[in-house]
Amino acid sequence: MSRKGALTASNSGRFPAVVAPKPPAVPGNLAASSSNGLFTAIEVNGGGDAKIRAWVESMRASSPTQKTTPLPGDHRAWMTQHPSALDMFEQITKVSKGKKIVMFLDYDGTLSPIVDNPDAAYMSDAMRATVRNLASYFPTAIVTGRCIDKVFSFVQLAELYYAGSHGMDIKGPESKKDRENIVFQPAKEFLPMIEEVYKILVVKTSSTPGVLVENNKFCVSVHFRCVDDKKWEKLAKRVASVLEEYPKLRLTHGRKVLEVRPAIAWDKGKALNFLLQSLGYANSNTVCPVYIGDDKTDEDAFKVLKESGKGFGIVVSKVPRDTHATYSLQEPSEVMHFLHRLVEWKRQTHKGSQEIRRR
Ligand SMILES: [Mg+2]
């Protein structure tokens, strides 16, 4: 475990005073895999072909383009359980009144559209401006499976917190005085192993047309998006066979992606807690964390919020799915609309309280 620096006050003064947190306990190297049943970890050792087939089927089912259109009744029932965050906006602001909202945003499929080429998942200028405004009122973190450098090249906002590699690489807002004001890397010891596996996977999968292997620093993503789905099973077996030599790594899957990560009990939910603790809100009843994401990996964070009773998760999905999120939004354009309304609400509240003080 490495933790080079404590989280310090941000450069802008817009973020709350922060305290040096105690790093959360990170269990040993070979901890549990799936924490919630929604995020599937593949057992490489002893998993066998049946497991690989089950995973391929599960990935197929979770890919929106492969889904059959849900029946109107199914969708209505799901929307009753997970209503639109836009429709529930008044209630959301009512509940969060007097509390400090802290924003957590996934990137792909949340702030940017899902595209075939992950290197081209750009966010729009309008979304960037919205997130910039958001961060001027609320501490805001990007929580992603991407490595920090890659996601930063898309987002380009130095005033945000970034939790890359599924929360295994955490960094605070850049300050002119201190460019390294928070670094928390619970899986640092795995870096050489991940680099090695990345190189092997590039070679071993190179014969499959359309495959893209992405080095996300603390994890490796094998993208299936442009691979003929008749070849998915063979490709998955090939990836799993590489992992047989690395018992300290595990395989998980997301939307048309297979991911190799250190087998430590660390995920986006743990990263959320770490950031809240870093901001001084570990045991606070006046914090309202809001997490917006579309991926299976975001479920770990939704679950943390649900169990703590603080704040809420918003799942980005057009189709009904199992989720621990409280609310839903259909797509990135709705996310932008929601964030924009949050900023406007805060601006009005702020203006109102200033006017009262002047009287
Ligand atoms: Mg996503």
Please give the full DSSP string across 152-164, using - where no structure is assigned. Answer: HHHH--TTSEEEE
Quote the percentage of the chain above a pLDDT of 90.
Answer: 64
Residue that wins the pLDDT comparison between 18 and 296: 296
**pLDDT at 176 > cutoff 60:** no
* pLDDT (0 to 100) of residue 28: 34
Distance in angstroms (rounded) separating the CA atoms of residues 53 and 67: 18
What are the chain's domains?
A: 85-186+266-354 (3.40.50.1000), 188-262 (3.30.70.1020)
CA atoms within 13 A on the CB side of 53: 3
Query: What is the structure's pLDDT at 29?
Result: 31
231 CA to middle of ligand 1, Å?
24
Q: What is the mean pLDDT of residues 323-343?
A: 97
SS3 114: coil
Residue 228, burial from CB neighbour count under 10 angstroms (0-12, 13-18, 19+)? exposed
Please give the average per-residue pLDDT across 31-55, as a whole number. 52
> What distance in Å separates the CA atoms of residue 114 and residue 260, rounded to the nearest whole number?
20
Q: What is the pLDDT of residue 50?
A: 81
Of 355 and 58, more confident: 58
pLDDT, residue 56, reads 83
CA of 349 relative to ligand 1 center, distance in Å? 31
What is the CA(295)–ligand 1 centre distance, in A? 4
Cα 351 to averaged position of ligand 1 atoms, centre (Å): 34
Residue 32 alpha carbon to ligand 1 centre in Å: 23
- 348 alpha carbon to ligand 1 midpoint, in Å? 31
- For helices 232-243 and 48-62, the axis angle rounded to 10 degrees is 130
| Distance from Cα 11 to the centre of ligand 1, integer Å | 28
Residue with tokens 């870096």: 191
Over residues 230-258, mean pLDDT: 92
Alpha-carbon distance of 340 to 357, in angstroms, equals 26
Q: Give the Å distance between the CA of 115 and the centre of ligand 1.
A: 11
What confidence category does residue 64 fall into, taking pLDDT thresholds of 50, 70 and 90? Answer: low
- How do residues 10-25 score in pLDDT, each as one tens digit? 333 334 444 444 444 4
Joined together, the tokens standing for residue 157 give 């906002």
Q: What pTM, to 2 d.p., does this model score?
A: 0.83
How far is ligand 1, taken at its centre, from the CA of residue 296, in Å?
A: 8
How far, in Å, from the CA of 228 to the mean position of ligand 1? 22
Pairing between strand 287-293 and 312-316?
parallel
Least confident of 42-56, 57-71, 102-116, 164-178: 57-71
